[in-house]
Amino acid sequence: MALEIQGVTAGYTKEVPILQGIDLTASDGLVTVIIGPNGAGKSTLLKVIYGYLRASEGEIRHDGVSLRDQQPKDMLRHGIAYLIQGHSVFPKMSVEENLELGAWILRNDRKAVASAFEEVYERYPRLKEKRRMLAGVLSGGEQRMLEIARLTMTGPKTLLLDEPSVGLMPKLVDTVYQEIARLKEQRYTILIVDQNVRKAMQIADYIYVLKLGRNSHEGPREDIQPRIEAIIREWI
Ligand SMILES: Nc1ncnc2c1ncn2[C@@H]1O[C@H](COP(=O)(O)OP(=O)(O)OP(=O)(O)O)[C@@H](O)[C@H]1O
Ligand SMILES: [Mg+2]
């Protein structure tokens, strides 16, 4: 069931709708990728799912539960974690403190926080080594890894990732995609917005193309990949 979006219309003001009737499903345990030209509304869609923006029409469900009237603070409880576009580490805080922020909904349960740390440090031994360092002195790639690790602190089911590899040098881009592949093996449901169409194509199970706030193309990777050059040419 996972994440189902039906007929979602939303915008930042009443006068200018950005998303106009978007339909999308991110199936359990699969990687669903959203691509599209700049300004298509890809980031806006993730903001609507996560409750930063309200849909004026349409429905959003996660495991059958409506998210329409939910707020960002409710999302971890619904099992959804979100990597916003751009940098989100707190540079003046330690690696450990950054991770702790990912577990704030567990803050009253010290045992749960301790076991969240244990699991995350097992999966990210480099972060464990550097846990006392200020996050701001980590390399760009390590900071991105910290951001991703932070998302997994409360054991969410679904990850929303907005441009997870943007601004990284090519070698680190590969590391991020390897990490996403690893998260997929761990059965997370993953919805990614990506400009890096070639990389996204390698890990996608299903692809949606958005254009000017509407669905433009969609299909399993096998269908979209052979047509991708032609699809991108339509954007220009
Ligand atoms: N905070 C905001 N207030 C008003 N308009 C906004 C805001 N954020 C985005 N927009 C507008 O919404 C439209 C869609 O933007 P959005 O960021 O969703 O695009 P995108 O597909 O993620 O693009 P990119 O690939 O450049 O990240 C754009 O026209 C943009 O100008
Ligand atoms: Mg965007």
**What per-residue confidence (pLDDT) applies to 45?**
97
216 lines ligand 1 (CB under 6 A): no
Pocket perturbation via mutation, ligand 1, pick of 43, 85, 211, 232 by most ligand atoms within 8 A of CB: 43
Amino acid symbol at 70: Q
141 lines ligand 1 (CB under 6 A): no
**What per-residue confidence (pLDDT) applies to 108?**
82
In the reported structure, the alpha carbon of residue 18 is separated from the centroid of ligand 1 by a whole-number distance in angstroms of 8
In the reported structure, the alpha carbon of residue 122 is separated from the centroid of ligand 1 by a whole-number distance in angstroms of 37
Instruction: Say if residues 59 and 6 touch (Cβ distance below 8 Å).
Output: yes
**What per-residue confidence (pLDDT) applies to 90?**
95
**What per-residue confidence (pLDDT) applies to 236?**
78
41 lines ligand 1 (CB under 6 A): yes
CA distance 11 to 169: 33
> How many separate domains does the chain show?
1
CATH number at residue 189: 3.40.50.300
Give the residue numbers spanning the domain of 143. Answer: 3-233
Residues 6+ apart with CB under 8 A from 193: 33, 34, 35, 42, 43, 45, 46, 85, 161, 162, 163
CA distance 46 to 53: 9
CA distance 8 to 75: 18
Specify the length of the chain in residues. Answer: 236
Going residue by residue through the chain, which has 236 residues, state the pLDDT in tens, using 9 for 90 and above: 699 999 999 999 988 989 999 999 999 999 999 999 999 999 999 999 999 999 999 999 999 999 988 999 899 899 999 998 888 899 999 999 999 998 888 788 889 899 999 999 999 999 999 999 999 999 988 999 999 999 999 889 999 999 999 888 888 899 999 999 999 999 999 999 998 888 889 999 999 999 999 999 999 999 999 999 999 998 87
Pocket perturbation via mutation, ligand 1, pick of 42, 160, 212 by most ligand atoms within 8 A of CB: 42
**What per-residue confidence (pLDDT) applies to 81?**
95
**What per-residue confidence (pLDDT) applies to 116?**
92
Closest ligand to the CA of 162: 2
**What per-residue confidence (pLDDT) applies to 33?**
97
CA distance 58 to 229: 31
Q: Which atom of ligand 1 is nearest to the CA of 193?
A: 22
* Ligand 2 ion: residues within 5 Å (CB): 42-43, 85
**What per-residue confidence (pLDDT) applies to 107?**
81
DSSP single-letter state for residue 30: -
